[in-house]
A and B are shown apart, each in its own frame.
Chain A
Amino acid sequence: MTTNQQTKPEKTDAVPGAPLLEVDDLHVEFRTRDGVAKAINGVSYSVSAGETLAVLGESGSGKSVTAQTIMGILDMPPGVITGGEIRFHGRDMLKMDKDERRKIRGKKIAMIFQDALSALNPVYSVGFQLAEMYRVHEGMSRKDAKARAIELMDLVKIPAAKERVNDYPHQFSGGMRQRIMIAMAMALDPELIIADEPTTALDVTVQAQVMDLLAELQRERHMGLILITHDLGVVADVADKIAVMYAGRIVEHAPVDKLYSSPAHPYTEGLLASIPRLDLKGQDLYAIKGLPPNLMRIPSGCAFNPRCPYAQDICRADVPPLIEVAPARHSACHFAQQVLDKNGGS
């Protein structure tokens, strides 16, 4: 890197240690002809500079919808934000006007999408798409922006960046394309990156490389990172804390090592038990019984109760709140303490 991207004068407004982004009791629903799907039902989490939050959950758990709402790229309609705040440096972005919001997108908060092949525009060269960030946000000339695009491609370790800058997305391999996506997100040196399943579409060997690159850049630049995934393996190495989502709620929130060693929610327990393990080779893999709930008919009480081995009458009647069960550990389960004790966490 020859540019001065390491110095970040615009970040002085951030109070050290204070959360960069706070999602506070967010509610989002999708109003369709078939009915109302309650996608997010009171999600709260926060990310500080230099911190990695992993958001874990099955498809339909609301993890991507939360990310899209933060980015302001939720399709509205059918999506409707029915409550909550999303504060960036303490300011509620949901109350900002369109233009102010747009200037945060890409520049302060950037997003990395799952499938780079469809997320990149097929008819423009990667150089054009990278340079566009500088041309639009910083009014840079075509030539300067292109030079910066090449620097970006070097940054994400794409070989022969100079020769490849005019190539089109389809001419790159999956891993290289995802690097382009990362480069695009890094372009304006954002304070927060949201990565929505950044490695899901990649080969296992490439997954690790891409994840390492992302983690390295995040460390160097002291950015906040929200890593959305359903892959427990990806999370363990890079995340500081984990939020587990189920049916639009956070069911467990804990530092990464604590969560792995001693889950405090039956759903997390089930997820961990379903990871294939070498020492259990030959045995049937554990699977959480049942299916994720239909978001138009979320079960009463705890949404997980029909699938939960601990379920009692109270679980069918009352929604368990997310409460602190041990220092820095939160679980939304009526029997959280019991689950935690069983797993040796207290």
Chain B
Amino acid sequence: MGRYVVRRLLQMIPVFLGTTFLIYFMVYQLGGDPISAMFGDKAADPVFVRQMREEYHLNDPLIVQYWYYLTGLLTGDFGTSFSGIPVADELKRAFPISIRLALIAFAIEIVVGVGAGLLAGLRRGKFADSVVLVTTLIVISIPVFVLGYVVQYWLGLKWQLFPATATPGDPTWEDLILPGIVLGSLSLAFVARLTRTSIAENMRADFVRTATAKGLPRRRVVTVHLLRNSLIPVVTFLGADLGALMAGAIVTEGIFNVDGVGRLIYLAVTKHENATVVGAVAALVIVYLVMNLIVDLLYAVLDPRIRYA
């Protein structure tokens, strides 16, 4: 087990190098001169431009620039944006907000998704099952920006159940409930359907029949014997999804004015703040890799047939 974890952690190094270089390369390829961009419509001051290009190594070839960036990373320096703010500070501000948002979405996903899936799976072909199937189909078909505005209008403005937009800078937990619902809705639908299929399949499993034949109460058969086995595929999905929730909130964060990682990346791309884009995405890559490792380890906990050596 320990050796497996060490091996997996070591494997992250080439993956991390590869992804950061790819991102660096792509941002570089976006073109446009970030320094001139700072001046907008006005003519750029040539002295300032030269000075900036020198300071940010913009005259060097790509590979050299990447080398500077990488050596900086190793000493804990994420670089500095062109407007002079250390990228590390920007990340420190944005990540906690996105993590909070992702956790809310995640909690809704688990509670509602697994609950609905369990209900539908146990009553396959009955009314409750059809309701879950149709509802999830609708949720899956609606684009996030439509769902976002609809939720914001009805729940936030019309009925005023929750704040319609987040407090700028430091949103409260309450502020994040609506964006959390919107962000989690798509995955919620997937989780519900995945759980439903898995439950319905395992309902016919021999070990569930054995549990019934042992004279266990139905509640125990379902929660102890059926659910644990059925959640194995769901956990895989949920683990990979937690990373996606943090990265995939660009639209949602935009609608609800949440200052998270999604918005940070979006703004950085439009302003050609290369260091910020690469830094934020690299951090997300690490989140993904770590989440994947945790899911794989959790697998072995849920299913003793899986052993890592």
Query: A6 in the interface, Cβ–Cβ < 8 Å?
Result: no
Residues of B close to A113: CB separation below 8 A: 206, 209-210, 213
Contact of A137 with B206 at beta-carbon distance under 8 Å, contacts A121-B225, A122-B305, A123-B302 already known: no
Determine whether the beta carbon of B214 is less than 8 Å from that of A133. Answer: yes
A332: shortest Cβ distance to chain B, in Å?
Answer: 30
Binding site for B on A (CB under 8 A): 71, 73, 75, 102-107, 110-111, 113, 115, 118-123, 125, 132-133, 136-137, 168, 170, 184
Contact at B207–A168, with CB atoms within 8 Å? Answer: no
Query: Which residue in A75, A106, A111, A121 is a CB contact (below 8 Å) of B207?
Result: A121
How far is A169 from B206 in the complex, measured between Cα atoms in Å? 14
**Are A121 and B211 CB-contacts (below 8 A) given A102-B217, A113-B206, A136-B217?**
yes
B209 is contacted by which of A107, A119, A125, A137 (Cβ under 8 Å)? A119
Could you tell me if A132 and B207 are in contact, using CB atoms closer than 8 angstroms? Answer: no
Does B304 touch A at the CB level, under 8 Å? yes
Query: What residues on A are CB-neighbors of B303 within 8 Å?
Result: 122-123
Q: Quick check: A123 and B229 within 8 Å, CB to CB?
A: yes
Which 5 A-B pairs rank lowest in CB-CB distance, beginning with the nearest? A106-B215, A105-B215, A118-B206, A121-B207, A106-B214
Q: What does DSSP make chain A's interface, helix, strand, loop or mixed? A: mixed
CB distance from B211 to the nearest CB of A (A): 7
Interface presence of B205 (CB below 8 A):
yes
8 Å CB contact of A123 from B204, B209, B211, B304: B304
A179 to chain B, nearest CB (A): 15
Note all chain A residues with C-beta closer than 8 A to B215.
102-107, 136-137
* Residues of B in contact, count (CB < 8 Å): 21
- The answer to whether B207 touches A118, judged by C-beta atoms less than 8 angstroms apart, is yes
Q: Within 8 Å of chain A (Cβ to Cβ): is B271?
A: no
**CB contact list, B197-213 vs A, under 8 A:** 204-207, 209-213
Q: How far is the CA of A75 from the CA of B220 in the complex (A)?
A: 18
CA distance A303 to B207 in the complex (A): 34
Within the complex, which residue of A75, A106, A110, A168 is in contact with B304, where a contact is CB–CB below 8 Å? Answer: A168
Which residues of B have CB within 8 Å of A73?
209, 212-213
Residues of A within 8 A of B38 (CB): none
Whether A118 touches B216, Cβ cut-off 8 Å, given contacts A123-B228, A168-B305, is no
What are 25 inter-chain pairs, A to B, with CB distance below 8 A? A73-B213, A75-B204, A102-B215, A102-B216, A103-B215, A105-B212, A105-B214, A105-B215, A106-B213, A106-B214, A106-B215, A107-B215, A110-B213, A113-B206, A113-B209, A113-B210, A115-B206, A118-B205, A118-B206, A119-B207, A121-B211, A122-B305, A132-B216, A133-B214, A184-B210
Report A30 CB to chain B, min CB distance, Å: 14
For residue B215, give the distance in angstroms from its CB to the closest CB of chain A.
Answer: 3
Complex contacts, A71 vs chain B, CB 8 Å? 213
Contacts of A119 in B (CB 8 A): 206-207, 209-210
Is the CB–CB distance between B214 and A184 below 8 Å? yes
A209 to chain B, nearest CB (A): 22
CB–CB A122/B229 < 8 A: yes
Q: Chain A's nearest CB lies how many Å from the CB of B307?
A: 10
Residue of B212, B213, B214, B304 touching A122 (CB-CB under 8 A): B304
Q: How far is the CA of A120 from the CA of B303 in the complex (A)?
A: 13
CB neighbours of A122 from chain B (8 A): 207, 229, 303-305
A205 to B204, CA, bound (A): 31
Query: For A105, A111, A119, A133, which residue has the most chain B Cβ atoms within 10 angstroms?
Result: A119
- Closest partner residue, chain B, to A117 (CB atom): B206
A contact residues around B206 at 8 Å (CB): 113, 115, 118-119
State in angstroms the CA–CA spacing of A75 and B206 once bound together: 12
Which residue of chain B has its CB nearest to the CB of A110? B213
Closest to A107 in B: B215
Q: Kindly list chain B residues whose C-beta atoms are within 8 Å of the C-beta of A123.
A: 228-229, 302-305
